[in-house]
Amino acid sequence: MGTSDDIATGSPDVTDAHTVESLIRERLSSALGGARGSLETALPTVAFVVAWVWLHDLKIAVGASVVVVMVLLVVRLVMRQTPRYVLSAVLATAFAAFFALRTGKAEAAFLPGILTSAAWGVGSLLSVLLRWPIVGFMVAAADPRIAQEPASFAPLTSWRRDGGLVAVCQRLTMVLVVLYAVRVVVMYPMYLAGQVELLGVAKIALGWPAYLCALAIMGMILVRGKTPLAVASPRTASGLPEPR
């Protein structure tokens, strides 16, 4: 999604995180994929749209996107870097290719992304209403205790004991809800109208640039807030209340 500098200007040690916002900044900075991960997600779409506009051949357009994503994967493996973000692009490209080739319509390549955004939007909204905000799980996923105790599920739920942390994560999750809603509202009418070129532009614009806008809003929320942690002592390795 973004680099650590997109959310925080520094990288404080977790044990020095005395506010909810500083803890979330530190955790999210390690959980997001960075500019390169977002670029790797966008390039297959660029290849698909360019090939379609140039040749108007669905199979060639799909093939172009597949070739690009495979090249990106090989580059990651050769450089011995994590292929995590490329693999997400591989999965997205595979679904897009399946829908496009199965229906014979180029615009169908964008339907999986639209459906995914709708699902994530509804899921994110429900998580806020149920007070289990998705951003809370993103924060928990970067808890160092997960690496230390991989068999323990306590770090994934202990964050809910801090009411301030839950409240901030709810506000941050609502930013994601708006982002997903904008994607669906903009792209679904284009899909119905068969506007392949506009769909390609919209998908790219609502990818990395839209994430930047969302991160900027999240950053303002985190920088301005001074919500104290329920427990912030040197004894807690994660900066969160210890499981009881």
Provide the β-strand partners of residue 19.
228
Contact yes or no for 159/230 (Cβ under 8 A): no
How far is residue 52's CA from residue 4's CA, in Å, rounded to a whole number? 36
Mean pLDDT of 134-163: 74
The alpha carbon dihedral of 123, 209, 64, 199 has a sign of positive
Domain ranges for the chain:
4-33+105-224
Given a cut of 60, is residue 240 above it in pLDDT?
no
The two three-digit tokens of residue 14, written as one number: 């977790």
Give pTM, 2 decimals.
0.74
Given a cut of 70, is residue 207 above it in pLDDT?
yes
The larger pLDDT score, comparing residue 26 to residue 185, is at 185
